[in-house]
Structure 1
Amino acid sequence: MIFQGRFADKVMVVTGAAQGIGAGVATRAAAEGASLVLVDRADLVTEVQQAIMATGGKAVSVQCDLETYEGAAQAVAAAIESFGRIDILINNVGGAIRMRPYAAFEPAQIDAEIRRSLMPTLYCCHAVLPIMQDQGAGTIVNVSSNATRGIRRVPYSAAKGGINGLTQALAMEYAESGIRVVATAPGGTQAPARRVPRNAEGDNEQERAWMAEAVEQVTSCAFMKRYGTLEEQIAPILFLASDEASYVTGSILPVAGGDIG
């Protein structure tokens, strides 16, 4: 369902916008009137930009690595250069790289999971806050996960737990500046096959078995006993980003078929 004009005159930055939830959020927000800044390190993000513009939407794309602070600063600077302000930041970068028992993770793999699923959100929040403070308003929506309680992905779970803490602490600290900070906590989500794989090295047979165990745990813990759809994840994110949620801050909304994580 499209809410015409819901984001008219709003500038929205969406990270991880090349595919999946991020691309869906950006595309629907554009249809609802937002001017989009699409951020991803994959060049596929330009395809999302072109699709939005082909339907009359406003969008620019920025290729940068949000696992570095320089990347976050680059994204914010591009948004200001293009549109002069940032009303909404959707922090969507993240995703488990590997599935395995925690004792089987190598130290470098633990570090990689934290860099992937925590640091982009930390960096982007830090980079955007001065802009929103100067404006006296702004909304940050962090995409967390219900995997704070889950198996075979402990480093990812820890990263998402960090995002939950960040959401609540920032909401408290910056409410007087007119800035709302909220999050969704998606559960398992059906999506088209990733064009950029989560694990570039590929999974071996044992890792595929561990992945199957994680999928079974996610499905069995959901009251609805199924994965959600992309649309079922996109809609709550955009609700929290909108003025309809103007009295909601510091909240983490589980979107996981009854599993609160």
Structure 2
Amino acid sequence: MNNHRFAGKVMVITGAAQGICRSVALRAAAEGARVVLVDRADFVCEVAEEAKGAEAAGFVADLETYEGAASAMAFASRTFGGIDILVNGVGGAIRMRPFGEFEPAQIDAEIRRSLMPTLYACHAVLPHLLRRGGGTIVNVSSNATRGIRRVPYSAAKGGVNALTQSLAMEYAEHGIRVVAAAPGGTEAPPRRVPRNAAGDNEKEKVWMSEAVKQVTESAFFKRYGTVDEQVAPILFLASDEASYITGAVLPVAGGDNG
């Protein structure tokens, strides 16, 4: 860990209440960033308090709405005087099932969860980065653009990859880098708020186990990654160490590039 890598930088991390981006936010704070942790779960403010000795603030917003994304960026700019880095971490498959078993409303929900928050946040942060004279966006995608039992989620993350590449090309002239990390299966602590609030029925539990088996067997290492193994690449991409990397999607999936 480099204790000064993000000194003087303001970083907004979405989806920071739990999962990978919770650890991204806490480590970024430990490395000197002034961090704004955004999530629709109100305990995101508790996580911000864990960044002891750092400048950190939690903000509750529903990033599945444009208003939520815009209000989060405005809060960060108001609190710390601007924004240098955005890490988009909202997303995650809600259900695992064969594509033919998805109901239309469930397809819409997957796209709304795993594409729209990133799309909205990228748009909402642009004026703040332009005022800063440049900056960095790191989108947390997934290697699940190739995988079973989650086709709508795969489509959403494919959209994140396309957004990353096109936005990078369009805004490079303004000094804005746009990159993505594409994690594979990750052993994260239990979620305080489950992605599927209704819970899985017996069929869904079987479909989930099939997806887990595919993810594990597709990885060259035949295991899930750790949270730390995901945080390090995300923060590398966010840092000035990656200053000549833009438009790239970095697979972090033990050899399974999706």
Q: Same fold (TM over 0.5)?
A: yes
Coordinate RMSD, CA, aligned:
0.5
Match of 1:75 in 2: 72
1:87-236 alignment runs, 5 A limit: 87-236=84-233
CA distance in 2, matches of 1:226, 1:3: 28
Match of 2:38 in 1: 39
Identity of aligned residues (%): 74
Unaligned runs of 5+ in 2: none
CA distance in 2, matches of 1:5, 1:134: 24
Runs of 4+ in 1 over 3 A off after TM superposition: none
Q: Which amino acid aligns with 1:16?
A: G
Write the deviation string for residues 13-55 of structure 1: whole angstroms up to 9, x where unpaired. 0000001111100000000000000000001101111111xx2
CA distance in 1, matches of 2:87, 2:59: 14
Q: CA deviation at 1:134?
A: 2.0
Structure 1 length-normalised TM: 0.98
Q: Secondary structure at the match of 1:8?
A: coil
Q: Secondary structure at the match of 1:258?
A: coil
Q: CA deviation at 1:133?
A: 1.4
Write the deviation string for residues 58-98 of structure 1: whole angstroms up to 9, x where unpaired. 11111010000000001001001101110000000000000
Structure 2 length-normalised TM: 0.99
Equivalent residue pairs, number:
258
Unaligned runs of 5+ in 1: none
Match of 1:20 in 2: 19
Q: CA deviation at 1:130?
A: 1.3
Q: Secondary structure at the match of 1:257?
A: coil
